[in-house]
Amino acid sequence: MTSTADAILTGKTSTHLVEISPSVLLHKDAVQSFKLMQHDAQKDGIDIAIASSFRSFEQQLAIWNAKFSGAKPVFNEKDEKVDITQLPDIERIQAIMLYSALPGASRHHWGTDIDLYSPSLLPSNQALQLAPWEYEQDGYFYPLTQWLTNNASKYGYYWPYDKYRGGVAAEPWHLSFGALSKPFLSQLTLDVLAQCIAASNIMGKQALLDSLPALYDQYVVNVG
């Protein structure tokens, strides 16, 4: 039986969360810091909204299996769509993990990590992409990037994927509440993750379990 602590780590429970707006759930101990950051940004003319916060294990599993099967697109570091359906399982896994976390190892399971954007800066005819170019100097979210760069740490937030380290691609939209997420990461051991994967109906399971120590080092704990 999964313990409560392991259930939080692997996205199997939402008992630690608070709904701050429809379908947006945060860890109860991260809410105050986020709302203060949001309030202070608004005073400086920057509106902050959450595109994605908590995702359960089942939600992450659905994303993973859709990508593994080819039903959902997979992109490379150049933001180009790639066909992974003819690749060996381990290469499919590595292609997916560039941008999508392994179910059970997603930082979004904890309610500490959020994908941010600024609705007022998004052009009216443009759908949100959550792509690096939106947040870079010529992108429409660059004022948000500048404000967060100067201020996010004051509220306890940092970028776990501030740059590409050979694992997950850079994600300038992804902030993490360090006071909670850093202990959670240290508690998400290889054994906890292996048990979670083994008990699931994830596609590519055997290749995942065979390569899990290397994948854990490259994609899970390899963060800023």
What pLDDT, on a 0 to 100 scale, did the predictor assign at position 89?
98
- The full 3-state SS of 166-181, as one line of letters, equals CCCCCCCCEEEEHHHH
Which string of b and e fits 57-74 if b means at least 16 CB within 10 Å? bebbbebbbbbbeeeeeb
Strand, helix or coil for residue 75: strand
Q: Which fold has domain 4-220?
A: Muramoyl-pentapeptide Carboxypeptidase; domain 2 (3.30.1380)
Q: Does the pLDDT value for residue 64 go beyond 90?
A: yes
**What pLDDT is stored for residue 79 in this prediction?**
85
Q: What percent of the chain has pLDDT over 90?
A: 98
The C-alpha atoms of residue 195 and residue 202 are separated, in whole angstroms, by 12
Mean pLDDT throughout 14-34? 97
For the chain, the domains span 4-220
Mean pLDDT of the chain: 97
Average pLDDT over residues 62-84: 95
Other CB atoms within 10 A of residue 16 CB: 19
Q: What predicted TM-score, i.e. pTM, was given to this entire model?
A: 0.95
pLDDT at 1 over 70: no
Share above pLDDT 70 across residues of the chain, in percent, rounded to a whole number: 100
pLDDT value for 120: 97
Residue found under tokens 């986020």:
34
Query: What does the pLDDT read at residue 2?
Result: 80
CB neighbourhood size of 149 (10 A): 12
pLDDT one-digit tens code per residue, 127-142: 999 999 999 999 999 9
Q: Report the pLDDT averaged over residues 3-22.
A: 97
Average pLDDT over residues 89-110: 98
Taking only the tens place, the pLDDT of each residue in 178-209 is 999 999 999 999 999 999 999 999 999 999 99
